[in-house]
């Protein structure tokens, strides 16, 4: 079984930023963010999940 580890700081910032932009796009009408709010949330979650699963990311 793979042991989770803390992601690198840049990985954490990219995942957090994508997730926050997705949340902002859901609640505020900003054209580009509103159009892509669910993919941004998915990307943010995937980056954070991969960052905790693999040490190199």
* pLDDT of the chain, 57 residues: tens digit per residue: 778 889 999 999 999 999 999 999 999 999 999 999 999 999 999 999 999 998 887
Tell me what percent of the chain is helix, strand and coil, each rounded to the nearest 5: 70, 0, 30
Round to whole Å and give the CA distance between 27 and 20.
11
Is residue 19 a part of any domain in this protein? yes
Exposed (0-12), middle (13-18) or buried (19+): which is 22, by Cβ within 10 Å?
buried
d(C-alpha 45, C-alpha 28), whole Å: 20
Residue 36 within a domain: yes
The total number of structural domains that make up the chain? 1
Q: Look at residue 2 and tell me if it is in a domain.
A: no
In a domain, 1, yes or no: no
Report yes or no on 35 lying in a domain.
yes
Residue at 3 is within a domain = no
Structural domain of 29: 9-53
In a domain, 29, yes or no: yes
């Amino acid at each position: 079984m793979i042991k989770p580890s803390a992601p690198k700081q840049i990985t954490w910032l990219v995942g957090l930023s994508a997730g926050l932009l997705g949340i902002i796009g859901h609640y505020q009408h900003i054209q580009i963010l509103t159009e892509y709010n669910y993919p941004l949330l998915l990307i943010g979650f995937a980056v954070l999940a991969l960052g905790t699963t693999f040490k190199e990311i």
